[in-house]
Amino acid sequence: MPVIEKVIDETPYIRTFVLDRTFRANPGQYVMVWVRGVDEVPMSLSYENAITVQKVGDATSAMFGLGKGDRLGVRGPYGNGFTLTGRSILVIAGGVGAAPLASLAELAHSSGISVTTLLGARTKTELLFAERFRQAGELRIATDDGSFGHAGFVTQLLERTDLSDFDGIYTCGPEQMMARILNIVKDSMLDRIQLSLHRYIKCGFGICGACCIDPEGLRVCADGPVFTGIRLANSEFGKYRRNECGMKVHVQ
Amino acid sequence: MSRDITIELTGLHLGNPVLLAAGILGSTGASLKRAAASGAGAVVTKSIGTVPKPGHPNPTMAETACGFLNALGLPNPSYREFADELRVAKEGGVPVIASIFGADAREFREVAEGLAGADAYELNLSCPHAEGYGAMVGTDPGLVEELTAAVKDCTRAPVWAKLTPNVTNITGIGLAAQRGGADAVVAINTVRGMAIDIESGYPVLGNKFGGLSGPSIKPIAIKAVYDLYEALDIPVIGVGGISSWQDAVEMIMAGAASVQIGTAAGRDPEIFRKVASGIISYLDSNRWELSDIRGLAHEVTYASD
Ligand SMILES: Cc1cc2nc3c(=O)[nH]c(=O)nc-3n(C[C@H](O)[C@H](O)[C@H](O)COP(=O)(O)OP(=O)(O)OC[C@H]3O[C@@H](n4cnc5c(N)ncnc54)[C@H](O)[C@@H]3O)c2cc1C
Ligand SMILES: Cc1cc2nc3c(=O)[nH]c(=O)nc-3n(C[C@H](O)[C@H](O)[C@H](O)COP(=O)(O)O)c2cc1C
pLDDT tens digits, one per residue of A150-187: 999 999 999 999 999 899 999 999 999 999 999 999 78
Partner-chain contact B31 A1, CB within 8 Å: no
Partner-chain contact B202 A210, CB within 8 Å: no
What is the per-residue pLDDT across B256-302, written as a single tens digit (0 to 9) for each? 999 999 999 998 989 999 999 999 999 999 999 999 999 999 999 99
CB contact at 8 A, B237 and B184: yes
Query: Residues A122, A200: one domain?
Result: yes
Query: Residues A134, A238: one domain?
Result: yes
Q: Chain B residues with CB inside 8 Å of A212's CB? A: 25, 27-28, 30-31, 34
Report pLDDT for B3: 81
Query: Residues A25, A147: one domain?
Result: no
Report pLDDT for A103: 97
Task: Map residue A31 onto helix, strand or coil.
Answer: strand
Has residue A83 been placed in a domain? no
**Residue from A45, A60, A252 whose mutation best tests the ligand 1 pocket (most atoms within 8 A of CB):** A60
Question: What value does the mean pLDDT take over residues A208-222?
Answer: 97
CB contact at 8 A, A170 and A89: yes
Task: Map residue B207 onto helix, strand or coil.
Answer: coil
Report pLDDT for A104: 98
Query: Residues A157, A117: one domain?
Result: yes
A187 burial via Cβ count (<10 Å: 0-12, 13-18, 19+)? exposed
Report pLDDT for A252: 78
Report pLDDT for B128: 66
Spell out the domains of chain B, with CATH numbers in brackets.
7-298 (3.20.20.70)
Query: Residues A118, A64: one domain?
Result: no
**Beta-strand pair A114-121/A138-143:** parallel
Cis peptide bond N-terminal to A2, omega within 30: no
For helices B141-154 and B170-179, the axis angle rounded to 10 degrees is 30
Look at residues A48, A78, A108 and tell me which one is the last residue of a structural domain. Answer: A78
Query: Residues A105, A46: one domain?
Result: no
Query: Residues A108, A44: one domain?
Result: no
Look at residues A47, A78, A109 and tell me which one is the last residue of a structural domain. Answer: A78
Ligand with the closest atom to the CA of A51: 1
Task: Map residue B247 onto helix, strand or coil.
Answer: helix
Query: Residues A29, A100: one domain?
Result: no
B53 touches chain A (CB under 8 A): yes
* Total domains, chain A: 2
Report pLDDT for A144: 96
Question: What value does the mean pLDDT take over residues B107-133?
Answer: 88
Active site residue B127: yes
Residue A54 sits in a domain whose CATH number is 2.40.30.10
pLDDT band with cut points at 50, 70 and 90 for residue A54: very high
Interface test with B, best of A3, A40, A239 (most B CBs within 10 A): A40
Q: State the smallest CA–CA distance between residue A90 and chain B in angstroms.
A: 32
CA distance between the termini of chain A: 36
Q: What's the Cα-to-Cα distance from A216 to each of A220, B66, B68, B102, rounded to whole Å?
A: 11, 32, 26, 30
Query: Residues A138, A237: one domain?
Result: yes
Q: Which residue of chain B is at minimal alpha-carbon distance from A211?
A: B27
Q: Which residue of chain A is at minimal alpha-carbon distance from B204?
A: A36
Query: Residues A97, A217: one domain?
Result: yes
> Out of A121-130, A135-144, A207-216, B130-139, which region has the weakest mean confidence (pLDDT)?
B130-139
Task: Map residue A121 onto helix, strand or coil.
Answer: strand
Residue A242 sits in a domain whose CATH number is 3.40.50.80
| Cα dihedral B4, B5, B8, B13 sign | negative
What is the per-residue pLDDT across B170-225, written as a single tens digit (0 to 9) for each? 999 999 999 999 999 999 999 999 999 999 999 999 999 999 999 999 999 999 99
Has residue A23 been placed in a domain? yes
Q: What's the Cα-to-Cα distance from A64 to each of A39, A91, B11, rounded to whole Å?
A: 14, 28, 57
Ligand with the closest atom to the CA of A95: 1
| Greater pLDDT, B128 or A200 | A200
ipTM score of the complex?
A: 0.94
Half-sphere exposure of B177 toward its Cβ, with a 13 Å CA cutoff?
33
Catalytic residue among B40, B120, B127, B225: B127
Partner-chain contact B23 A34, CB within 8 Å: no
Cis peptide bond N-terminal to A174, omega within 30: no
In single-letter form, the type of residue at position B118 comes to A
Does B16 contact ligand 2 (Cβ within 6 A)?
A: no
A74-109: b (≥16 Cβ within 10 Å) or e: bbbbbbbbbebeeeebbbbbbbbbbbbbbbbbbbbb
Query: Residues A97, A68: one domain?
Result: no
pLDDT of residue B129 exceeding 70, the answer is no
Has residue A166 been placed in a domain? yes
Full DSSP string of A147-196 = SSSEES-HHHHHHTS-GGG-SEEEEES-HHHHHHHHHHHTGGGGGGEEEE
Has residue A158 been placed in a domain? yes
Query: Residues A66, A129: one domain?
Result: no
Query: What number does the ligand 2 atom closest to the CA of B68 have?
Result: 31
Q: Chain B residues with CB inside 8 Å of A210's CB? A: 27, 75
A78's CB contacts (< 8 A; 6+ apart) are A29, A30, A31, A32, A42, A204, A205, A221, A222
Has residue A189 been placed in a domain? yes
- The DSSP bridge partners found for residue A248 are A242
| Cα dihedral A171, A173, A179, A180 sign | negative
Question: What value does the mean pLDDT take over residues A209-236?
Answer: 97
Look at residues A78, A102, A127 and tell me which one is the last residue of a structural domain. Answer: A78
Q: What is the pTM of this model?
A: 0.96
Share of chain B above pLDDT 70, in %: 96
Rounded Cα gap, residues B149 and B141, in angstroms? 12
pLDDT of residue B134 exceeding 70, the answer is no
| Domain that includes residue A157, residue range | 88-250
CB contact at 8 A, B276 and B16: yes
Question: What value does the mean pLDDT take over residues A121-141?
Answer: 97
Has residue A162 been placed in a domain? yes
pLDDT band with cut points at 50, 70 and 90 for residue A188: confident
Full DSSP string of A199-223 = ---SSSSS-S-TTEETTTTEETTTT
Other beta carbons less than 10 A from residue B67's beta carbon: 21
